């Protein structure tokens, strides 16, 4: 098939989960399909990711949009009903109309609900939209925890997004989310399917549980749910774990995260690295203490693949359907989470057993090849239905 793949951000193993998911989809499916990528990213990717994506695609078209114009569209949408995160992406480049007019594609793939306007512009083509997660659920959880004025904006979008997500499902042949929790948040809609997140099982090779020390948190350190999680853990859990060190690994450390590391000698801020696997492989425990966010946590899947036992909140574990005591330890308050960490660090045999079970769990359910194959089925069904229309 010839596929037009439309994204807001450049695919790659970069700062955001949707970028990694799109990259793995392109990487696996480009071996069987001819993919043209159209991306609206304003930020040039590192050369190695640009080159990797270009090798997989028939063609890559970058059509960046003005940050100022995006902000103006969001401001103009305040008195209306359109979600701000959608309105700011409404302006479309001429390249999209030109690509559709040529009529060379069998199916279009659109990443994220923010590109609702692109779905409208692609109407002549059968289309699959990948929500990744339920943005409405994400915003509702953020509204309960963030500070003013971001709390107000999150609350506004949390009210507006559910209707848009359901309407978007009605415009396309199929829609995808990464977990059953996110599907339930959007609604029991027939063409809304679950396509799980995955992990590169070779890149995140299983490391035997030996000579490990300290805790690690991996993720985009400028993303609100991660900033909130680290801040909460540092205040509520780390004081209950004397002499235990916490290492923070990830892109875009926020000023709040930087302050935490400066003022607490037991917190090491590593920041962005080319490969997080070595940090996971030498940590005694990976923590995933999210209180906000949605979807399936890639940080948790990658830790489980690496042989690093995980302590997570129930919110973090629910998207994966990970079982407490079998694939991870689950705790939601400071004392319970500290006790779970202490249990793993004081009982290496139990930690090793939990790590082995977690690896088997992700091998069975979360390889990227399996995830891409599930998406491919949606593409094929959408293209078949589109070709059958008069």
Cβ proximity of 351 and 357 under 8 Å = no
Name the band, by pLDDT with cuts 50, 70 and 90, for residue 390. very low
Domains in the chain with CATH codes: 2-198+367-388 (3.40.50.2000), 215-365 (3.40.50.2000)
Q: Please give the helix or strand (H or E) that residue 337 lies within, else none.
A: helix 334-346
Cβ proximity of 84 and 77 under 8 Å = yes
Tokens of 269: 């801020």
Name the band, by pLDDT with cuts 50, 70 and 90, for residue 387. low
pLDDT digits (tens, 9 = 90+) for 9-50: 999 998 899 999 999 999 999 999 999 999 999 888 999 999
- Would you list the DSSP string of 169-183? HHHSSEEEESSHHHH
Looking at the predicted structure, is the pLDDT value of residue 103 above 80? no
Name the band, by pLDDT with cuts 50, 70 and 90, for residue 389. low
In this structure, the strands spanning 127-132 and 174-177 are parallel
What's the full length of the chain, in residues? 390
Looking at the predicted structure, is the pLDDT value of residue 135 above 80? yes
In the sheet that holds 107-111, the strands lie side by side as: 59-62, 34-39, 2-7, 107-111, 127-132, 174-177, 192-194
Reference 199, options 371, 326, 8, 2; nearest CA is 371
Looking at the predicted structure, is the pLDDT value of residue 94 above 90? no
Decide: residue 359, CB within 10 A, 0-12 exposed, 13-18 middle, 19+ buried: buried
Tell me what pLDDT residue 48 has. 92
Instruction: Report the chain's mean pLDDT, rounded to a whole number.
Output: 95
Name the band, by pLDDT with cuts 50, 70 and 90, for residue 212. confident
Of the two residues 104 and 109, the one the predictor is more confident about is 109
Reference 240, options 334, 347, 345, 344; nearest CA is 334
Q: What mean pLDDT is predicted for residues 215-220?
A: 98
Percent of the chain with pLDDT over 70: 99
Tell me what pLDDT residue 183 has. 98
């Amino acid at each position: 098939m010839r596929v037009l793949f439309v994204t807001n951000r450049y695919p790659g193993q970069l700062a955001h989960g949707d970028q990694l998911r799109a990259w793995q989809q392109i990487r696996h499916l480009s071996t069987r399909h001819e993919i043209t990528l159209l991306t609206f990213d304003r930020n040039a990717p590192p050369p190695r990711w640009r080159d990797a994506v270009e090798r997989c695609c028939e063609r890559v078209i970058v059509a960046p949009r003005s940050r100022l114009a995006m902000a103006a569209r969001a401001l103009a949408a305040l008195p209306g009903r359109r979600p701000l995160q959608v309105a700011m992406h409404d302006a479309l480049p001429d390249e999209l109309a030109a690509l559709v007019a040529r009529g060379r594609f069998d199916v279009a793939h659109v990443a994220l609900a923010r590109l609702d306007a692109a779905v409208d512009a692609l109407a002549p083509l059968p289309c699959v939209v990948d929500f990744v997660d339920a943005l409405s659920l994400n915003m509702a959880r953020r509204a309960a925890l963030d500070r003013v004025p971001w709390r107000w904006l999150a609350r506004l979008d949390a009210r507006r997004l559910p209707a848009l997500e359901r309407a978007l499902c009605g415009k396309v042949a199929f829609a995808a989310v990464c977990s059953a929790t996110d599907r339930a948040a959007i609604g029991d809609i027939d063409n809304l399917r679950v396509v799980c997140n995955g992990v590169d099982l070779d890149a995140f090779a299983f490391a035997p549980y030996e000579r490990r020390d300290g805790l690690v948190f991996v993720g985009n350190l400028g993303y609100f749910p991660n900033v909130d999680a680290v801040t909460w853990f540092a205040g509520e859990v780390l004081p209950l774990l004397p002499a235990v060190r916490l290492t923070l690994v990830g892109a875009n450390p926020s000023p709040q995260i930087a302050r935490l590391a400066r003022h607490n000698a037991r917190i090491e801020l590593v920041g962005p690295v080319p490969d997080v696997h070595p940090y996971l492989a030498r940590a005694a425990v990976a923590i995933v203490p999210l209180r906000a966010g949605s979807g399936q946590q890639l940080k948790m899947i990658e830790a489980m693949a690496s042989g690093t036992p995980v302590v997570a909140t129930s919110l973090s574990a629910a998207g994966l359907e990970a079982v407490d005591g079998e694939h991870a330890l689950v705790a939601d308050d400071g004392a319970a989470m500290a006790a779970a960490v202490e249990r793993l660090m004081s009982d290496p045999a139990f930690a090793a057993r939990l790590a082995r079970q977690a690896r088997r769990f992700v091998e069975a359910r979360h390889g990227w090849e399996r995830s891409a194959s599930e998406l491919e089925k949606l593409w094929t069904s959408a293209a078949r239905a589109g070709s059958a229309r008069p």
